[in-house]
Structure 1
Amino acid sequence: MKKVPVLALASVLAACAGESPESKKSVNAEAEPTAVAEVAVSALSYPATRKDDVVDTYFGTEVADPYRWLEDDRSAETESWVKAQNAVTFGYLDQIGYRETLKQRLEQLWNYEKVGSPFKEGDYTYFYRNDGLQNQYVVWRKKGDGEAEVFLDPNTFSEDGTTSLASLQFSKDGSIVAYSISEGGSDWRKIIIMDAETRQVLEEPLVDVKFSGISWVGNEGFYYSSYDKPEGSELSAKTDQHKLYFHKLGEPQSADELIFGGKAEEKRRYVSGTVTEDDRYLVISGATSTSGNDLYIRDLSKADAPLVQILDDFDSDTYVLDNQGSTLYLVTNRNAPNKKIVTVDAAAPAEENWKDFIGETENVLTASTGGGYIFAEYMVDALSKVYQYDYSGKQVREIALPGPGSASSLDGKREDTTLYYSFTNYKTPATIFAFDVKEGQSSVYRESGAKFDPAGYESKQVFYTSKDGTKVPMLITYKKGIELNGKNPTILYGYGGFNVSLTPSFSIANAVWLEQGGVYAVPNLRGGGEYGKRWHDAGTKLQKQNVFDDFIAAGEYLIEQGYTSSDYLAIRGGSNGGLLVGAVMTQRPDLVKVALPAVGVMDMLRYHTFTAGAGWAYDYGTAEQSKEMFEYLLGYSPVHNVKAGTAYPATMVTTADHDDRVVPAHSFKFAAELQAKQAGSAPTLIRIETNAGHGAGTPVSKTIEQYADLFSFTLYNMGVKTLPNG
């Protein structure tokens, strides 16, 4: 499966992932006017934000929610508030003299040709290409040694570049393509079906598709997943029943067959259906949260074959990697927290018949296939190590990588003789390598054109001690010859959730930060997947505070070692990482100078009432789950822990009006609380991108503007008067 390369401002939740509390609401008709009225706070005048007398009761405890009205993303009052907040924020940013210089440097460094790995479909070889500053990557193709031509240009989908290509899947012989698009960054997608040779659209687009793959059966049609369109706002209303459909080519969407889901007894929040490469089996995975799934197969070679259940609980993450005839190869963390590969016959696929194929090790496994081999990639302290296996289970070789860093998966079709992978780390732009599956040799296929010399920089891994004694790794990247005098502007970036692993990768934006003498530090916090299931679970539910403690300890380490000080330290994270920043800045406002929470989950009592948020309960728990869980969530929920009379760091909250993953109301309410209660002189602003979503598919132009704003805001509030380089 080929993925669309994307540039995103924030990390994305790994997946989008009870009843509402008893509520009583009364609106004060005499409340002050909103939106354009202003109140003076420090040197800034923020738009006044109306407070309502909204109170929810949880286990006998009343919790005020005065900014509940900001959850209504369709109201004129909310729209007016957004415009007023942006006016203040951009008015502030406009005063920073070197903001335009940073933007120009970002554009300069960004402006080079970027080409993805090639992949063959039918008679053509396809690849993604961006000539430098194009808002979206373009799909190109060529036949044999012929000239390359544009196949699909997402930059033509909309005038402002905000409609993006989300996925692209060809039929088995490559003659037909189905691709999905995202409009304004929304998770709701359209699927367009096109003749690959003539590029003629074959039928009406499929609409209202969400969290879906596209998996073809021959050239007949494909499986996809979606929810019923919710009542109310499609950007914020709850979506709770995922379904798998089969679309037969040439038939209207209304005739699509419901394959799985839709029944109360088999309710799933996330459902996917994939067809094995030989078209033999349909594999269905169902989940109620972002961790754990049940698993089913259907033998498509037999008419009216039943759905056979492999797993009937949600106690593990298990998927079908491949098959050889009726032998299934499963990747699982069932009784193997770091994952292993097992085999089983499809005729009797129950767990008691599983046989270990590649056993669990002390390092976390990720597996892929291509060229008739299986590739086992292991994370060793968040760095890649890759081994090649044949289908008898024999280890063929370890693949030599250029050095410490991250290798992308080696995957492709069975008949491929050459596979492609990229290698990168925090100071090294990605290089694409061609790998000969028989000889085991890698050769450079395409070097990065980025005008950045990694020889002038250092990326160092350290291990520091968290509050409870746990050792946590962190990669620190900076210019060689840095003076450890505590005055280096530093961004500490974190995530810590949903089993997501932060492995080292090059970022054009971060390269600009490093050029200016900045330090960039990334710890591998608990809640992530770097050390397997136990590491993930150690940062979930009633252990979520471990994640915040790990992040705080990372900041303290950077200060103790002289990399930076509280006056030069910024914390940044997006989505679940936005929650991380919000929790840490409210728990330890003295630790940092600048806080940059992006698209964050800020209201931990109500997150599960929006879109697919209920699926995140494995990591967070819910306020209705138990009194203990409610009190724990209330204890760190950023919206509920902003205290009057506290001096908070300079803060720029960022979100987008079309974010239907983590709805912008989280950020709206958090910003309103900060502006109402900030006792210090530091600004507390919110930057709201319009016609954009959670991050994926954001146009390059918008991404550059966002980073210029983030970096200038950060440096300005650290007291940097002029840029060291520029």
Structure 2
Amino acid sequence: MKSRIAMTTAALLLPLVSGAAGKAPAKPAAAEKQPVETTYHGTAVADPYQWMESATDPKVQQWTDSQNAYTRTYLDKLPGREPLRQRITELLSWKSPSYGGLDERGGTLLGLKFQPPKQQPTLIVVGSLDDTSKERVLVDPTVVDTSGKTTIDWFQLSHDGKKVAVSMSKGGTESGDVSVWDVASAKAMPNELVPRVNGGTAGGSLAWNAKGTGFFYTRYPRGEERPPVDREVYQQVYFHTLGTPTEKDTYALGKDFPRIAMTDLESSDDGQYTFARVANGDGGEFDLYLHGPKGTWTQVAKYADKVVSARFGSDGAAYLLSRKDASKGKVLRLPLATPTLDKATVVVPEGKATVQAVVPTKSRLYLLEQLGGPSQLRMVDLTGKELGLVPTLPVSAVGGLVRQGADDLLVVNGSFTQPAAWFRYSAADNKLTKTALARTAPIDMSDVEVVRTEATSKDGTKVPLTILKKKGTKLNGNNPTWLTGYGGFNVSINPGYSALTGMWLEQGGVFAVANLRGGSEFGEEWHKGGSLTNKQNVFDDFYACAKLLTDQKYTQPKKLAIQGGSNGGLLMGAALTQHPEQYGAVVARVGIYDMLRTELTPNGQFNVTEYGSVKDPEQFKALYAYSPVHRVKDGTKYPSVLFTSGANDPRVDPFHSRKMVARMQAATASPKPILLRANAETGHGMGTPLSARIEEEVDVYSFVFNELGMTYKPNATKKVSAPAPQ
């Protein structure tokens, strides 16, 4: 499925490869202004940089090359860059492996393993949870493509655990073709390649049938089936039978779906039933369909029913998570024999925490609950009777949730100060035991204090803010501080260990995470409070968090850096245009900055249900009011800003960064730099090779250190013991 996650240091872009040869300019090239005007609902809007939306225009490429050359000249000469490079390389190349995406079917447990110096994660068979020497490689994308630019998007095991379907894409495009691999031999099955299953607009998904002879999958338009403008939309569901040409795959579902449908597929353990959860773009509306033994599809829920997810139980029922009249979620039990909502019963009513996922086992339900950033795992029996909490780390994130046997689970758990590890949870004795699938920490953060507080937003809303600082840090207003946030698409920023954050803290910095409206921290009302015409609340929330950091003397504006990516990049654009005086440095990665033109792009159409459309008068008014490129004012002293973009980005067109940089460079009255780091070979950040991640972080950290007046001190590092050989 399409993952709308907040950008982190793990989702980054490749180094600059645009043609920037020759002597770099002394200052960035000014962008030409061309008179273009569009009238929306009686409001005339000038758009002098609209010509920069064309990626194929030689003038656009020439301007981009000039910007890249200037950026390289500026960044490459920054003091302390090489010591920073050494430290960042050391941290991101830490050889202790990390494991993700575990899934078990038919007694076969697979997972994705990332172990530097490998450029990409590999798909492995987990031979033992307690002995990593028994694992074996199943699919290594760096063998499939030695350039290191191909990545595994996702995988899906057959019910007997003997075959696995794997989506792989290249160069950050997220355009994934599915191949089928034999688990025993670790070889791709011949002539089994299904094209265009995954994409950066509607994501992708797949569900095997009971016998493992074929699967339902999401299919984008192929060839000339639709004009070019429609080839990243109109996703449908087809069925592929192994051993037959994909051209003969049969249509299953989707001709009546919205243009911006995004479908998730999931089958029951026995393969007899399959759910298709169909999202109406990114705004959080879902239809639910069920395919049963009779071979037909039945619609179970419509948008108005607010069923946001469904999981199969082992008791002849499915368990649905609904937000109808329950912003924080309630759980319904739906008998598969009579799959209509009037036959569903409430098992778990709405509670104080926000339910984000439900995992049914033989005799209980595990409820993954959001607590304003951190999460917990609560248990009830199949009648809803409370069974307590799984004993996880304090102020931590819980995930994974792979069923083991009758009622046991595999759970991944980590915090801001401890790397995520996989644990085995025993239902019989309520015990959580760490497995061997655990990464060691490249930086010891045991002396880091995690402060949970709240800022008060403009309208009085309390906004969670987590602050990390070394114990004993003085609140004298002089600490360099890094603040990040996201605020959208029902996505919450959860606690997570970052070695680069550890490095920042080593250097005397403070790190803060804002849990803003628009996310899923407190249910659907919290999400609605930061979407569509309420989007300005997100920016007010973020400003309130920044003000708390300065008012309570953690830092001061000239020592405050902010960072965000994607929707968080939009947040950065709004933050720096609405309150330029509040920040010393801004890192805006792959962001959206022209809110009036974004819906003209393929993925921008999916964003309409989250952001709104210029076609609606009230939504246009809200969009225009905060659209960053339109809020830039001539003669304003803007802070230092580093913008990043990727030419292959399927989610945010890089024209946003070009237009924003052009507008800001023309407007700013400050000598501080407005830089563009435009990449010709990458996308939104997914699938970035390790070496490329290192290059970007060297640029980002050397930029922030310099703009905040910091000097990297190698002797401030605190070594920990090397990881055990793997």
| Cα distance between partner residues in 2 of 1:698 and 1:6 | 16
The one-letter amino acid of 2:96's match is: E
1:11 deviation in Å?
7.2
Counterpart in 2 of 1:259? 252
Q: Which sits farther off after the overlay, 707-716 or 68-77?
A: 68-77
TM-score with structure 1 setting the length: 0.90
Q: Does 1:95 align with 2:95?
A: no
Query: After the TM superposition, which residues 15-164 of structure 1 pair with which residues of structure 2 at under 5 Å, given as runs?
Result: 44-110=26-92, 111-116=94-99, 119-122=103-106, 124-141=108-125, 147-164=134-151
Q: Does 1:203 align with 2:195?
A: no
Q: CA RMSD in A?
A: 2.9
Contact 2:280 2:609 in 1 (8 A): no
| Cα distance between partner residues in 2 of 1:254 and 1:431 | 42
Counterpart pick for 1:685 among 660, 663, 675: 675
| Cα distance between partner residues in 1 of 2:70 and 2:227 | 29
Q: Does 1:546 align with 2:537?
A: yes
Counterpart in 1 of 2:514? 523
Change (3 A) 1:134 1:189: same
Cα deviation per residue 1:92-122 (whole Å; 9 max; x = unaligned)? 1011121221121122123121142665455
Contact 1:237 1:610 in 2 (8 A): no
| Cα distance between partner residues in 2 of 1:367 and 1:132 | 32
- How many residues get paired? 694
1:143 deviation in Å?
5.3
| Cα distance between partner residues in 2 of 1:193 and 1:70 | 41
| Cα distance between partner residues in 1 of 2:612 and 2:355 | 27
Q: Which sits farther off after the overlay, 165-174 or 133-142?
A: 133-142
1:54 deviation in Å?
2.3
| Cα distance between partner residues in 2 of 1:593 and 1:311 | 49
TM-score with structure 2 setting the length: 0.90
Q: Does 1:455 align with 2:446?
A: yes
Contact 1:230 1:237 in 2 (8 A): no
Contact 1:231 1:237 in 2 (8 A): no
Change (3 A) 1:233 1:126: same
Change (3 A) 1:634 1:287: same
Q: Does 1:431 align with 2:421?
A: yes
Contact 1:35 1:47 in 2 (8 A): no
| Cα distance between partner residues in 1 of 2:470 and 2:226 | 48
Q: Does 1:534 align with 2:525?
A: yes
Contact 2:99 2:114 in 1 (8 A): no
Cα deviation per residue 1:375-403 (whole Å; 9 max; x = unaligned)? 11222232222222333433333211232
Counterpart in 2 of 1:272? 264
1:244 deviation in Å?
1.2
| Cα distance between partner residues in 2 of 1:106 and 1:200 | 36
Query: After the TM superposition, which residues 304-703 of structure 1 pair with which residues of structure 2 at under 5 Å, given as runs?
Result: 304-305=295-296, 307-314=297-304, 316-324=306-314, 326-369=316-359, 372=362, 373-412=364-403, 415=405, 418-446=408-436, 447-626=438-617, 628-703=618-693
Give the SS at the match of 1:639: helix
Cα deviation per residue 1:480-524 (whole Å; 9 max; x = unaligned)? 211212111111101011111111111122222122111110111
Counterpart in 1 of 2:720? none
Q: Does 1:167 align with 2:167?
A: no
Cα deviation per residue 1:73-110 (whole Å; 9 max; x = unaligned)? 23433333332221111111011121221121122123
Give the SS at the match of 1:86: helix
The one-letter amino acid of 1:486's match is: G
Contact 2:6 2:493 in 1 (8 A): no
| Cα distance between partner residues in 2 of 1:383 and 1:596 | 25
Cα deviation per residue 1:528-553 (whole Å; 9 max; x = unaligned)? 11000111111112211111011011
| Cα distance between partner residues in 1 of 2:662 and 2:581 | 21
The one-letter amino acid of 1:129's match is: K
Contact 2:172 2:684 in 1 (8 A): yes
Q: Which sits farther off after the overlay, 172-181 or 582-591?
A: 172-181
Counterpart in 2 of 1:179? 166
1:206 deviation in Å?
1.6
Contact 2:11 2:688 in 1 (8 A): no
Change (3 A) 1:6 1:699: farther
| Cα distance between partner residues in 2 of 1:483 and 1:534 | 37
Give the SS at the match of 2:550: helix
1:652 deviation in Å?
0.2
Give the SS at the match of 2:66: helix
1:309 deviation in Å?
1.6
Q: Which sits farther off after the overlay, 664-673 or 347-356?
A: 347-356
Give the SS at the match of 1:623: coil
Contact 1:142 1:149 in 2 (8 A): yes
Give the SS at the match of 1:577: helix
1:608 deviation in Å?
1.1
Cα deviation per residue 1:375-433 (whole Å; 9 max; x = unaligned)? 112222322222223334333332112322112242225x3665322222222222322
Contact 2:179 2:188 in 1 (8 A): no
Counterpart in 1 of 2:281? 289
Give the SS at the match of 2:188: coil
| Cα distance between partner residues in 2 of 1:65 and 1:229 | 34
| Cα distance between partner residues in 1 of 2:539 and 2:235 | 32
1:653 deviation in Å?
0.5
Give the SS at the match of 1:70: helix
Report % sequence identity: 32
The one-letter amino acid of 2:442's match is: K
Contact 1:494 1:523 in 2 (8 A): yes
Cα deviation per residue 1:279-314 (whole Å; 9 max; x = unaligned)? 121212223222111111121x22x43x22212335
The one-letter amino acid of 2:583's match is: V
* Ranges in structure 1 where 5+ consecutive residues have no aligned partner: 13-33
The one-letter amino acid of 2:241's match is: K
| Cα distance between partner residues in 1 of 2:7 and 2:525 | 30
* Ranges in structure 2 where 5+ consecutive residues have no aligned partner: 13-18, 718-726
1:256 deviation in Å?
1.4
Give the SS at the match of 1:192: strand
Counterpart in 2 of 1:18? none
Q: Which sits farther off after the overlay, 546-555 or 439-448?
A: 439-448
1:607 deviation in Å?
1.1
The one-letter amino acid of 1:90's match is: R
| Cα distance between partner residues in 1 of 2:709 and 2:44 | 42
The one-letter amino acid of 2:74's match is: Y
Counterpart in 1 of 2:722? none
| Cα distance between partner residues in 1 of 2:28 and 2:332 | 59
Give the SS at the match of 2:540: helix
Contact 2:305 2:322 in 1 (8 A): no
Change (3 A) 1:502 1:147: closer
1:238 deviation in Å?
7.2
Change (3 A) 1:351 1:370: closer
| Cα distance between partner residues in 1 of 2:59 and 2:665 | 18
| Cα distance between partner residues in 2 of 1:313 and 1:128 | 34
Q: Which sits farther off after the overlay, 266-275 or 574-583?
A: 266-275
| Cα distance between partner residues in 2 of 1:71 and 1:229 | 26
1:140 deviation in Å?
2.8
| Cα distance between partner residues in 1 of 2:576 and 2:222 | 37
| Cα distance between partner residues in 2 of 1:104 and 1:237 | 46
1:695 deviation in Å?
1.5
| Cα distance between partner residues in 1 of 2:480 and 2:564 | 17
The one-letter amino acid of 2:183's match is: A
Q: Which sits farther off after the overlay, 473-482 or 423-432?
A: 423-432
